[in-house]
């Protein structure tokens, strides 16, 4: 009976967090994307606007709002496949891993609509697994409820509802840890391989889950299954070699997005030298710096408590993007680093801290979604 009560509470917490956060997201996007700017008044200082919701405009305006930035590259993969030509530096869809666009293609229909449906379904699945995983790592039912709420309302969690791979990656990484925690290493290996075919950071599951196997004293039995994880990345590299002649084409075109190999502390020090510059084109540096500090704090918290696997995964999830020499999109990447949400849930045991986390998260979430509807560049990155 207690187990059924715990499971029921976890499901309710995940469903509530999902429904509330997605209702807020879609309400803001629909309302914001239907704002019409009429004219400027008061010496050109204020816009007069109208907001008119017409049934025939809601879906088209929603699609316009979410189909920006990387979404077009993923759409090109889903519709036409990867560019087939010899490798050369410059923008190309080789930078984007294949599992999500292939899944959308299998889903069928319009890419934007199918992509959003898949993304939201994956988010719900991730939240349903995050709650029991939080309990398995020493949390209470209240901790589990906070973890899913914090994840659903994380400032950049609006990416979870866009036709992008964040939700799918979130689901697969949580599933891999959850399966490993339950000693189902074959399933952890499969989920890890799929995650490694979804985003470059998926390969980080190999060392993290290896540490978990060592923690649990089953590394001999687990290792063979965990070696499935690199297959996801390797398969993509083989395809790129066939199409372009360069298995590392996904890394070779990163300079087109202003990413270059560097020491991971370089972008952090660059911000500290000019802390007044909190935003540049496509990069809300201040928010991204704060997200980097949060991930680092979560990693340190787990490592201090000898939860090596979660600490290592959080730390590696930070070091990998920082090694590209920029803070760009760190806040977006932080949304899928599930140990961060678990660590925040433990911190939120103090009511004052919980209120601060909730207030800041919802305020930033709403602000960024509003800017998304206006196509402000850093809200798209």
Which of the two residues, 39 and 1, has the higher pLDDT score? 39
**What residues have CB less than 8 Å from 37, skipping those under 6 apart?**
47, 48, 49
| Cβ burial 208-235 (10 Å sphere, 16+ → b, else e) | bbbbbbeeeeebeebeebbebbbbbbee
Calculate the average pLDDT of the chain: 94
What gap in Å lies between CA 195 and CA 313, rounded to an integer? 14
Q: Which two tokens stand for residue 309?
A: 């696997």
Check residue 349 and give its pLDDT. 97
DSSP state of 203: G
Non-local CB neighbours of 36 within 8 Å, separated by 6+ positions? 49, 50, 51, 52
How far is residue 151's CA from residue 131's CA, in Å, rounded to a whole number? 11
What is the total count of domains within the chain? 1
Check pLDDT > 70 for residue 155: yes
* Domain boundaries, position 244: 2-380
pTM score, whole prediction:
0.95
Cβ atoms of residues 13 and 147 within 8 Å: no
Say how far apart CA 96 and CA 74 lie, in whole Å: 7
Question: Is the pLDDT reported for residue 3 higher than 70?
Answer: no
Give the tens place of pLDDT for each residue, 76-101: 999 999 999 999 988 999 999 999 99
Radius of gyration of the chain (CA): 21
Is the pLDDT reported for residue 1 higher than 50?
Answer: no
Q: What percent of the chain has pLDDT over 90?
A: 86
Which of 344, 356, 357 has the alpha carbon at shortest distance from 139?
344
């Amino acid at each position: 009976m207690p187990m059924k009560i715990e499971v029921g509470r976890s499901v309710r917490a995940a469903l509530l967090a999902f429904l509330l956060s997605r209702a807020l997201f879609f309400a803001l996007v629909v309302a914001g994307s239907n704002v019409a700017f009429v004219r400027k008044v008061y010496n050109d200082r204020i816009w007069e606007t109208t907001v008119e919701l017409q049934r025939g405009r809601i879906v088209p305006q929603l699609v316009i709002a979410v189909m920006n930035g990387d979404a077009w590259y993923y759409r090109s993969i889903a519709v036409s496949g990867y560019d087939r030509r010899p490798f050369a530096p410059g923008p190309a869809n080789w930078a984007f891993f294949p599992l999500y666009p292939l899944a959308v293609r299998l889903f069928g229909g319009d890419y934007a609509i199918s992509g959003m449906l898949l993304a939201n379904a994956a988010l719900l699945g991730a939240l349903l697994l995050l709650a029991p995983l939080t309990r398995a790592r020493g949390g209470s039912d209240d901790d589990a409820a906070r973890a899913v709420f914090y994840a659903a309302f994380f400032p950049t969690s609006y990416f979870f509802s866009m036709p992008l791979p964040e939700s799918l990656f979130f689901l697969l990484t949580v599933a891999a840890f959850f399966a490993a925690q339950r000693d189902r290493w074959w399933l952890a290996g499969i989920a890890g391989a799929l995650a490694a075919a979804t985003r470059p950071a998926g390969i980080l599951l190999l060392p993290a889950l290896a540490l978990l196997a060592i923690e649990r004293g089953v590394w001999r039995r687990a290792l063979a299954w965990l070696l499935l994880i690199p297959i996801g990345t390797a398969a993509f590299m083989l395809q790129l070699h066939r199409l372009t002649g360069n298995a590392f084409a996904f890394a070779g075109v990163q300079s087109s997005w202003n990413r270059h190999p560097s020491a991971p502390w370089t972008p952090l020090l660059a911000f500290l030298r000019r802390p007044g510059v909190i935003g540049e084109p496509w990069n809300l540096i201040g928010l991204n710096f704060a997200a980097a500090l949060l991930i680092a704090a979560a990693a340190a918290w787990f490592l201090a408590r000898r939860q090596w696997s979660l600490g290592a995964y959080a730390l590696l999830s930070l070091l990998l993007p920082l090694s590209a020499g920029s803070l760009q999109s760190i806040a977006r990447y932080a949304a899928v680093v599930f140990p961060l949400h678990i660590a925040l849930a433990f911190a939120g045991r103090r009511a004052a801290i919980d209120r601060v986390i909730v207030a800041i998260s919802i305020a930033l979430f709403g602000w960024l979604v509003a800017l998304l509807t206006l196509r402000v560049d850093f809200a798209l990155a």
